[in-house]
């Protein structure tokens, strides 16, 4: 259930390269209109990307688990309660990893500083695991065991699909 980690990555891509999230030029034969200039802020783009990723996740889950409207409503209420927390934890972990990289690459690495970074990393990972365990307990109250199993198998696949898409979008932004 690491979809929000991928969402964070896509949000970072959207922030770093707003041009890659701009509308594409109109196809030939549709009046020849040029690309519309995008006036959205990086924060607006990030929110739009998150909303689209969550919508796609919802569609794929409903389809794979054959959820009825009531069950899908309860499930997505549970998942959405954890999305923002997981994005926050991922952001924290990203910051710690950046600091760890900078501190370890210093000409004379400071052991105390590195130990502090590593302790913070261990703590944020523990916080993430605790949150994931809590989310699983809540999801189990909503889904049947068969649906739970399908969800556990589906979410890593969604994670990989979204990560692949992020890499493709980021790669196009470098051209």
* pLDDT (tens digit per residue) in 114-162: 999 999 999 999 999 999 899 999 999 999 999 999 998 998 898 888 8
Euclidean distance between the first and the last CA atom of the chain, given in angstroms as a whole number? 32
Q: Where are the alpha helices (DSSP H) in 105-144?
A: 111-140
Is a pLDDT exceeding 70 seen at residue 97? yes
Percentage above 90 pLDDT, the chain:
49
pTM above 0.75, yes or no: no
Please report the pLDDT score of residue 86 as a whole number: 86
Structural domain boundaries of the chain? 3-8+43-173
CB atoms within 10 A of CB 49: 20
């Amino acid at each position: 259930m690491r979809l929000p980690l991928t969402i964070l990555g896509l949000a970072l891509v959207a922030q770093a390269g707003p041009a890659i999230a701009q509308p594409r030029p109109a196809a030939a034969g549709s009046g020849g209109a040029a690309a519309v200039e995008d006036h959205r802020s990086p924060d607006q783009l990030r929110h739009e990307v998150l909303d689209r990723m969550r919508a796609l996740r919802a569609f794929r889950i409903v389809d794979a688990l054959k959820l009825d409207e009531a069950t899908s409503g309860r499930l997505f209420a549970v998942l959405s309660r954890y999305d923002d927390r997981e994005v926050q934890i991922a952001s924290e972990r990203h910051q710690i990893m950046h600091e760890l990289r900078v501190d370890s690459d210093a000409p004379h690495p400071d052991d105390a500083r590195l130990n502090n970074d590593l302790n913070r990393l261990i703590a944020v990972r523990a916080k993430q695991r605790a949150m994931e365990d809590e989310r699983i307990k809540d999801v189990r109250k909503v889904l049947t065991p068969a649906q739970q199993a399908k969800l556990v198998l589906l979410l890593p696949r969604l994670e990989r699909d979204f990560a692949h898409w992020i890499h493709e979008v980021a790669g196009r932004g470098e051209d």
